[in-house]
Chain A
Amino acid sequence: MLALPALVLLLAVIGYPLLTIILRSLSEPEWGLQNYIWFFSMPINLTVLQRTFVISTWVTLVCVVSAYPYAYLMTAVGPRVRLVLMLCVLIPFWVSGVVRTLSWVILLQDSGVINSILRSLGLGGVRLIRTQTGVVIGMAQVLLPFMILPLYSVMKGIDLRLMRAAQSLGARPSRAFFTIYLPLSLPGVYAGAIIVFILALGFYITPALLGGPRSTMLSTLVQTQVLSLLQWGRGGAMGVVLLVTTFVLLALAAPVMRSRYREAERR
């Protein structure tokens, strides 16, 4: 009963549009699989689909690696410092993604802050904007809170006395970390990674502004089909392909995660 309002809302704002997208992908301009055949017969679509997954994987990795120590630090410090650390995560989170992306343009461009510093240090400039690296950096920053918050909520539940116990039994700190702490924190890593990965797949603004042609993601192609060409059917088919591919990947990853989860709970 209590879940009813949320359920109705989900059905209305996700279920119905999704159904429309699937229907239109099969019915426009006429009934059949034409839009899907078109998708798989254009090499550019497959290149961009693959690229979308590669970029999202990189973004997820960057987020995990940078969020992990940060979230750990949040559990290790006193309440006042924790509040500051929390605000550092949340304030950018409240700022629009467009604004944050534009500030990355200023930082990353050839005459931007990073390159001026590199040059003044006598190092040559690097091409960051309009490259895949630039897109990954920008997206990782925008998505970082989605990694830090689940990680922190799991980590703060880990009893740190377990680590001390392990060490008193003769484990070196690194060993204690890898056998005790890391497995216990994995549910947080998985939760965060899945959210970040899925959000990254659908990113539009950041790759559009920070990327060049070689970092175009699928959302941009969908936009062209729907908004410039009025090919709702094709746009829909692209969305469905992305969705199905994501489900397949998650289904493949699920058994691994589930066993790890159980393992973590057993310990």
Chain B
Amino acid sequence: MRLRFGHAACVAVLMAATAALAQSKPVAGEVAEGSLKGKTLTFVSYGGIYQDGQVAALKEFVDKSGVKLLNDGPTEIAKLQAQVESGNVTWDVVDTDDLPPYVYCGKLFQKLDLTKLDVSKIPEGQVGECSVPAMNYGVVLMYNKEKYGDNPPKSWADFFDTQKFPGVRGIDGSGSPTGGLLEQAFKVAGGDPKAMTVADIDKAIDVVRKLGPDTIFWKTGAESQQLAESGEADMLMMWTGRAMTAVKNGAKYAPAWQDWLVVMDQMTIPVGVKDTDASYALLNAYLGKHAQEILAEKTSYTPINNDAQPKVDASVSAYLTNTPERQKQGYKQNFKFWVPNFAVAQEKWSALMAGN
């Protein structure tokens, strides 16, 4: 009997220890029952099916923690800056493009305390000082199958070669320059993207400019999709989600995956939020396996939890970017270069966008 009692005591101690450990060490996707009752969190993202999918992914978190989740958007760094400067931050968790958390780390976005998050399942190299990934997708070269027939473009070098591949090009003109595209353009100009300097940005932009006056700079993802579906552009740089939808809708386009540009939306906590721990709890829940599966199923974007196995049909899975093959083909922009040179690049890119 004594022994039994000892056993039980042992188990009890062990369980208590585990519980204590669990409390100090967060597990992605988990939140304590009722822990945020009476609290409100405002989550900011880009709207559309993307934010709907994120909200669906967070439903479990909301139900369990008892938090009231408000949605706002779209993310505008200028708006966030105004909130931080006035000391009245109403955005608790913000989804951003890939560069801002690096450019404004510590100024607009909090440096993350990684003891409050379980980042063990996030794909390698994606956790930043001020952000965790929100999802992955890609920018991919899509080409008109009928136009190019047996000799399709295979790389960005072909995209920039209007001699060998005549036709109208469509480029992301929605605002900020795509670092990866400029690096590919710089390669065409004979440079080495790894050793890029500020002066080289002009060389890269010149390559884009040389595509000529027929080049279409699309302003929205919807427009890029529409350009493929109507066949107006022969080669397009497209976000994978839009590429998939266009093909689903009957666009006779195919992807050239070589050097597709890796894009990672980011999740951040602004400086000056009222309840930092509540924001962390949301982030941690968002990173969970189940949440990421729901997100991928609703949006077709690639989950950022290595264990996630979303159930998607073939048309969607063809555009997921986390397969070993795609990971090998992907091209990651030179972050170290673009972060400090973000403003210069933006200025030069804007001049191109304004017809200069």
Interface residues of A in 104-163 (CB under 8 A from B): 105, 109-111, 130
Which residues of the partner chain A approach B351 to less than 8 Å between Cβ atoms?
Answer: 42, 44
| Interface positions of A from 153 to 198, Cβ below 8 Å from B | none
CB-nearest residue of chain B relative to A48?
B354
A215 to B355, CA, bound (A): 8
A-B contacts, 26 listed (Cβ < 8 Å): A44-B350, A44-B354, A44-B356, A47-B354, A47-B356, A48-B355, A105-B226, A109-B232, A111-B232, A130-B216, A209-B219, A212-B216, A213-B352, A213-B355, A214-B213, A215-B355, A216-B353, A216-B354, A221-B354, A224-B350, A226-B78, A227-B78, A228-B77, A228-B175, A230-B77, A230-B81
Contact with A along B172-199 (1 / 0, CB 8 A): 0101100000000000000000000000
Smallest CB–CB gap between B206 and chain A, Å? Answer: 15
For B168, the closest partner residue in chain A by CB is: A110
**Beyond A213-B217, A229-B347, is A220–B78 a contact (Cβ under 8 Å)?**
no
Centre residue among A43, A224, A226 by max chain B CB count within 10 A:
A224
B355, chain A: closest CB distance, angstroms? 4
Q: How far is the CA of A208 from the CA of B175 in the complex (A)?
A: 11
Q: Which residues of B contact A130 (CB under 8 A)?
A: 216
Within 8 A of A (CB), among B298-356: 343, 346-347, 350-356
> Cβ of A213 and Cβ of B346 under 8 Å apart?
no
Q: Which residue of A43, A221, A232 is within 8 Å of B350 (Cβ)?
A: A221
B76 at the interface (CB under 8 A from A): yes
B276 at the interface (CB under 8 A from A): no
Please determine whether B353 and A213 come into contact, CB atoms closer than 8 angstroms. Answer: yes
A228 to B77, CA, bound (A): 7
Residue of A47, A216, A228, A230 ringed by the most chain B CB atoms within 10 A = A228
List, in ascending order, chain A residues with CB within 8 A of B216's CB: 130, 212
Q: How far is the CA of A221 from the CA of B216 in the complex (A)?
A: 18
- Can you add 8 more A-B contacts, CB < 8 Å, to A213-B355, A228-B350? A48-B354, A220-B353, A226-B78, A227-B77, A228-B346, A229-B346, A230-B77, A230-B78
Name the distance in Å between B80's Cβ and chain A's nearest Cβ.
10
> Do residues B232 and A213 form an inter-chain contact, with CB atoms below 8 A?
no
Question: Chain A at the B interface: mostly helix, strand, loop or mixed?
Answer: helix
Bound Cα distance from A64 to B353, whole angstroms: 31
How many angstroms from the CA of A47 to the CA of B223 in the assembled complex? 27
Q: Are A110 and B232 in contact (CB under 8 A)?
A: yes
Question: Given A44-B356, A109-B232, A224 and B343 touching (CB < 8 A)?
Answer: no
- Among A212, A213, A227: residue with most chain B CB under 10 A: A213
B36-73 residues at the A interface, CB under 8 angstroms: none
Q: Are A216 and B355 in contact (CB under 8 A)?
A: yes
Give the A-B contact count at a CB cut-off of 8 A: 64
Q: Which residues of A contact B (CB under 8 A)?
A: 42-44, 47-48, 105, 109-111, 130, 208-209, 212-216, 220-221, 224, 226-230, 232
Question: Is B166 engaged at the interface, CB distance under 8 Å to the other chain?
Answer: no
* Residues of chain B with a CB closer than 8 A to A111's CB: 230-232
Contacts of A48 in B (CB 8 A): 354-355
Complexed CA–CA distance, A209 and B355 (Å): 15
Expressed in whole angstroms, the Cα–Cα distance for A43 and B354 within the complex equals 11
Within the complex, what minimum Cβ distance (angstroms) separates A121 from chain B?
20
Are A212's CB and B354's CB within 8 A? no
CB distance from B175 to the nearest CB of A (A): 6
Chain A contacts of B232 at CB under 8 A?
109-111
Quick one: closest A residue to B173, CB to CB? A213
Distance between Cα atoms of A110 and B232 in the complex (Å):
7
Which residues of chain B have C-beta atoms less than 8 A from A110's C-beta? 230, 232
Minimum Cβ distance to chain B for residue A18 (Å): 17
CB nearest to A130 among chain B residues: B216
A212 CA / B353 CA spacing, docked (Å): 8
A229 B353 Cβ-Cβ under 8 A: no
User: Which B residues between 225 and 241 are near A, CB-CB below 8 angstroms?
Assistant: 226, 230-232
Interfacial chain A residues near B346, Cβ < 8 Å: 224, 228-229
Partner of B354, one of A220, A230, A232: A220
Contacts of A42 in B (CB 8 A): 351
B343 → A minimal CB distance (Å):
6
C-alpha spacing A74/B230, complex, angstroms: 40
Tell me the B88-127 residues at the A interface (CB within 8 Å). none
Q: Which residues of B contact A215 (CB under 8 A)?
A: 355
In the bound assembly, the distance between CA atoms of A10 and B5 in angstroms comes to 80
B219, B343, B352, B355: which contacts A47 (Cβ < 8 A)?
B355
A55–chain B nearest beta-carbon distance, Å = 12
Q: Which residues of A contact B352 (CB under 8 A)?
A: 213
Are B77 and A212 in contact, with the CB atoms below 8 A? no
Asked if A212 and B219 sit within 8 Å, CB to CB, the answer is no
> What is the minimal beta-carbon distance from B18 to any residue of chain A, in angstroms?
46
List the B side residues contacting A212 at CB < 8 Å: 216-217, 355
| Complex alpha-carbon distance, A195 and B336, angstroms | 49
Bound-state Cα–Cα, A172 to B13, Å: 110
Minimum C-beta distance from A210 to chain B (A): 10
A130 and B356 alpha carbons, distance in the complex (Å) = 15
Nearest-Cβ distance from residue A169 to partner chain B, whole angstroms: 55
* Cβ-closest chain A residue relative to B349: A224
A214 to B212, alpha carbons, bound, how many Å? 12
